[in-house]
Amino acid sequence: MSEHRGRLLVVDDNEANRDMLSRRLARRGYEVEVASDGEAALARLAIDSFDLVLLDVMMPGVDGFEVLGQVRRTRSVAELPVIMATARDRSEDVVRALELGANDYVTKPLDFPVVLARVSTQLALREARRMLEQANARMSRDLAAGARIQRALIPQRAPTLLRVEVAWTFEPCTELGGDILDVFALDDGRLGLYLLDVSGHGVPAALTSVTLSRMLSHMGPSSMIYEEAPGAEPRLVPPATLAATLNRRFPMDPLTKQYFTWVYAILDPSARELRYAAAGHPGPILVGNDSQPRAFDSSGPAIGWLPDAMFEECTISLAPGDRLYFYSDGIVEARDPDGTFFGDERLQATLAECRSGTLSQSLERVKHEVSAWCGAAGPDDDISMIGVQITG
């Protein structure tokens, strides 16, 4: 029983006080050890473990303040509660003790019911903190496991296709993010890719993004990117048609207000042509060999906003060396410490400046610039980007 109530150290240079307090606390189920002065208390605390310390202020040699100060160098208020015992008319002692990190105080002569209530309260708080720390540790492990699952859905290597190079980056602002992307080779030599951004952050956004990732996977019979055709092989759903299907299937929840933006593209490297549809998501940025970067518009509202929304399919003709970048708004909406957005113009200028480097280097440059722009606080939204280059 005593182990469950708590292990206490009573520190007092008055033998009668030590004896009375330790015996009465022991009768209440506590395991009690005593120390006759500050030096002895520090020696016990250095080699033994206690749940709470009852510490007299006025002691010869090493007084209670010095003991408290040394204790707080290694053990926090939450880790080891300390209750100071001070004379009734010494209010300055109370102030100093609290400033040094005492959890509570009692006044002398000691009123045992008051002492017992203060001890019980501090031990209950300590246990509550311990349970909260355990719960936080479990949650952190669960979030880390969820983040690993989410990252496992991001492609690990680029598909091998003629006349096209692909690279991407994915950086959630928390352990779990609302962004997710995929890049995949289609059977006819074309390239498919999408990037989506679920509103919000954390577990709810991540669960939705993972669900969408499975439904939009190019593999498996339940993939939404193909449609069954009687007596024929499944056909690839056009980008605008797929956007409309998602919009009907995922109306915005009136309670959570959750929705997502999405861009989906199909690239034909041999024809050097890209078809895409964007739903509330930024359109791609084209960076050519000699021209200034060009940003293409989104072609429809976010998925779930309007039940009968129409989506437009856009076509981009490409030349050898052209690069296309698809990105989440976490990049352009990243803020510096003064609240200024990174912005579309800065993103385009960054991509133009690193045109001479590799595709992967350009993505790393964008990440670096956004991080530097945000400063120590870092971005407050997920950072996702796909780059595609026509190589021939």
CATH number, domain with residue 108? 3.40.50.2300
196 and 313, same domain (yes or no): yes
My answer on whether 202 and 129 are in the same domain is: no
**Residue 297 CB contacts under 8 Å (≥ 6 apart), including other chains:** 278, 283, 314
Q: Which residue has the higher pLDDT, 230 or 326?
A: 326
149 belongs to a structural domain: no
Asked if the structure places residue 147 within a domain, the reply is no
**Residue 56 to residue 37: CA distance in whole angstroms:** 9
Which contacts (CB < 8 Å, 24+ apart) does range 227-235 have? none
Q: Do 384 and 162 contact (CB within 8 A), yes or no?
A: no
Specify the amino acid at residue 116: L
174 within domain boundaries: yes
The percentage of residues in the chain with a pLDDT greater than 70, rounded to a whole number, is 95
Euclidean distance between CA atoms 299 and 290, whole angstroms: 27
The answer to whether residue 344 is domain-embedded is: yes
Q: How many domains does the chain have?
A: 2
Which of 76, 102, 134 represents a domain boundary (last residue)? 134
Specify whether 203 is located in the same domain as 94.
Answer: no
Mean pLDDT of 38-50: 95
Which residues neighbour 310 within 8 Å (Cβ) at sequence distance 6 or greater?
244, 300
What are the tokens at 309? 């929304």
Measured in residues, the chain has a length of 392
Which residue type is seen at 114?
A: V
Q: Average pLDDT over the chain, rounded to whole?
A: 89
Cβ neighbours, 10 Å, residue 284: 26
Q: Are residues 94 and 205 in the same domain?
A: no
Does pLDDT of 1 surpass 50?
A: no
Split at pLDDT 50, 70, 90, the class of 222 is low
Of 178 and 352, the one with more pLDDT: 352
Coil, helix or strand at residue 335? strand
Whether 128 and 187 share a structural domain: no
Which residues span the domain enclosing 226?
Answer: 155-390
86 lies in the same domain as 227: no
> 75 falls in which pLDDT band (50, 70, 90)?
very high
Domain boundary among 134, 163, 197: 134
Q: Are residues 178 and 326 in the same domain?
A: yes
What digits encode the pLDDT tens for the residues 230-286? 777 778 889 999 999 999 999 987 777 889 999 999 999 999 999 999 999 999 999
Q: pLDDT band at residue 219, thresholds of 50, 70 and 90?
A: low
Residues 114 and 180 in one domain: no
**pLDDT surpassing 80 at residue 186:** yes
CB 71 within 8 A of CB 62: no
Q: Indicate whether 72 pLDDT > 80.
A: yes
CA-CA-CA-CA torsion for 211, 154, 147, 260, nearest 10 degrees? Answer: -40
Range with lowest mean pLDDT among 86-95, 298-307, 353-362:
86-95
Rounded average pLDDT over 77-84: 94
On whether residue 365 sits in a domain, the answer given is yes
Assigned domain for 312 exists: yes
Could you report how far apart the first and last alpha carbons of the chain are, in Å?
79
Do 225 and 318 share a domain, yes or no? Answer: yes
- Does any domain span residue 146? no
Q: Are residues 47 and 108 in the same domain?
A: yes
Do 44 and 33 touch, CB atoms closer than 8 A?
A: yes
In this structure, is residue 309 part of a structural domain? yes
Give CA–CA dist 9/33, Å, rounded: 5
**pTM over the 0.75 mark:** no
Question: Can you give the CATH number for the domain in which 354 is found?
Answer: 3.60.40.10
Q: Which of 72, 100, 134 is the C-terminal boundary of a domain?
A: 134
* The pLDDT of residue 2: 40
- Considering the domain architecture, whether residues 124 and 188 belong to the same structural domain is answered as no
Query: 272 and 186, same structural domain?
Result: yes
